[in-house]
Amino acid sequence: MPHPFPPARLRALADRFGTPLWVYDAATMRQRIAQLSCFDTIRFAQKACSNIHVLGLMRAQGVRVDAVSRGEILRALAAGFRAGGDPADIVFTADLFDAATLDCVLEHGVPVNAGSIDMLHQLGARAPGHGVWLRINPGFGHGHSNKTNTGGEHSKHGIWHAELPAALAAVGQHGLKLVGLHMHIGSGVDYGHLAQVCGAMLERVRTVHAAGHGLHAISAGGGLSTPYRSADPVLDTQHYHSLWDATRRQAEAIVGHALGLEIEPGRYLVAEAGVLLCEVRATKNAGSQHFVLVDAGFNELMRPAMYGSYHAMSLLRRDAADAGALRPSVVAGPLCESGDVFTQGEGGVVLPRELPAARVGDLLVIHDTGAYGASMSSNYNTRPLIAEVLVDGAQVRPIRRRQTVDELLALERGL
Ligand code: LLP
């Protein structure tokens, strides 16, 4: 899909901050938030893009946040979210606790969205009365890849639907305070599953009510898709909300009082707001194949290598007058690994892309990388994490500086 930045702006950012570089557009994020404002609570799944300045933008728009690790709780606090509140500013979602994270949840009073009954016992033993959500695996799931399907027997996520009575017994045994029920069946889901998810949620609300537990809210989870290709469907948020709102009303009829309705998107709020800006550093031919080699690799953007994900690309030629004919090009990075290719499909099959003939010094823009781009980056090949900038109208804010190799080596020295 098109990206939100004029080419001259990207060239200026590359000149000022160097490449590779993550660039985010604040206006696009605010627009996506506004499109979901019909929900009582938008809870940003920060794993999609967890820079504290992005979290700060979310907070300023009244968005709350989900955290899936101790680090993400500390990020939320650093961004100005406070523990507590109703609905809570921060909810911790996981399928297990490590010792340090359990301590952190207790220290800051962060409600827990539990994906296993063991979590309820471990939490209840330390803090009777702590607030909990129950994340239910309804027995089916869906995703843009098998790796992002979070429902069904093969998924490690959530409390299996038939185990809900046992989970409620654990809640009762420890005097935990049940806040809500949560379902997230996967990322990039097909909306054909929506009616099924809503039906599964109502069935669990009945189980909770019949067992004599109070309930304050339900969460539709995340997974809202964004268009990566021009032919991809664009989510009708009004329709999506109306189905969940009707489910909420039916749930209210079951429990006999008002219920909050939460949604937990990651990708939807940030994917289209971000690009990965890289520079063409070499071109070469290998038999019939033409390679365009750029200075970013899968340690920066992992999605094509991990899921065969498609990202639109555009080339900004250093010499704008020289248009260049299209040619099928394989775009690859600098890593010492054959799978370091941005134009590939599932299973690693190389898919050349029609791009204007590239020259060294041209900029390559990889679109729709605001979600699961920077947040999934690694230091593979001893490559420091790259910088991030947030564009807000005329203003440009550096929001993360480039890591240095010295910082990486410092972790290993003087022990
Ligand atoms: N809630 C829960 C409990 C989740 O596990 C996730 C994503 C979300 C919300 C947000 O999902 P979203 O709205 O962003 O689809 N790395 C993959 C996506 C993995 C998502 C993991 N959980 C990708 O690049 O597509």
| Model confidence pLDDT, tens digit, residues 140-177 | 888 888 888 888 889 899 999 999 999 999 999 999 99
Q: Is 135 assigned to a binding site?
A: no
270 lines ligand 1 (CB under 6 A): no
**How far, in Å, is the centroid of ligand 1 from the Cα of 127?**
29
Percent of the chain residues past pLDDT 70, beyond the cut: 99
User: Is pLDDT above 70 for 367?
Assistant: yes
What's the CA-to-centroid distance between 135 and ligand 1, angstroms?
Answer: 14
265 lines ligand 1 (CB under 6 A): yes
Does the pLDDT of residue 320 top 80, yes or no? no
- 307 marked among binding-site residues: yes
Residue nearest to atom 24 of ligand 1 (CA): 372
Decide if pLDDT at 188 tops 80.
no
Residue 223 marked as a ligand binder: yes
Q: Residue 239: its pLDDT value, please?
A: 92
Domain with CATH 2.40.37.10 in the chain: 272-410
Of all protein residues, the one whose alpha carbon is nearest to atom 7 of ligand 1 is 187
Residue 191: the pLDDT is: 76
Ligand-binding site membership of 264 (annotated): yes
- pLDDT class of 18 with cuts at 50, 70, 90: very high
**Mean of pLDDT over the chain:** 96
Distance 361 CA to ligand 1 centre (A): 35
What is the 13 CA–ligand 1 centroid distance (Å)? 29
CA gap 185, 155 in Å, rounded: 9
Question: What is the whole-number distance in angstroms between the Cα of residue 93 and the centre of ligand 1?
Answer: 12
pLDDT at position 148 is 85
Q: Is 264 in the pocket of ligand 1 (CB under 6 A)?
A: yes
For residue 21, is pLDDT > 90?
yes
Query: ipTM for the complex?
Result: 0.99
User: Who has greater pLDDT, 347 or 332?
Assistant: 332
> For residue range 247-280, what is the model confidence (pLDDT) as tens digits?
999 999 999 999 999 999 999 999 999 999 999 9
- Residue 322, pLDDT > 70, answer no
Task: Work out which ligand 1 atom sits closest to the CA atom of 266.
Answer: 14
User: ∠302-305-308 over CA atoms, to 5°?
Assistant: 115
The yes-or-no answer on residue 336 being catalytic is yes
C-beta of 310 in contact with ligand 1 (< 6 A): no
What pLDDT score does 318 carry? 87
Is it the case that residue 219 has pLDDT exceeding 90? yes
Give me the pLDDT at residue 59, please: 98
Bridge partner residues of 131 (DSSP): 177
Q: Is residue 224 lining ligand 1, measured as CB closer than 6 Å?
A: yes
Kindly tell me if the per-residue pLDDT of 321 is higher than 70.
no
Second-level CATH architecture of 272-410? Beta Barrel (2.40)
Regarding the beta carbon of 332 and ligand 1, being less than 6 Å apart is answered no
Q: Where in the chain is the domain with CATH 3.20.20.10?
A: 37-264
Residue 221 CB–ligand 1 contact under 6 Å: yes
40 with 17: CB under 8 angstroms? no
What is the dotted CATH code of the domain comprising 37-264?
3.20.20.10
pLDDT above 90 for 84: no
Buried b (16+ CB within 10 A) or exposed e, 129-153: ebbbbbbbbbbbbbbbeeebbbbbe
Ligand 1 atom closest to Cα of 113?
Answer: 3
Distances (CA, A) of 307 to 70, 144, 236, 385: 26, 9, 25, 21
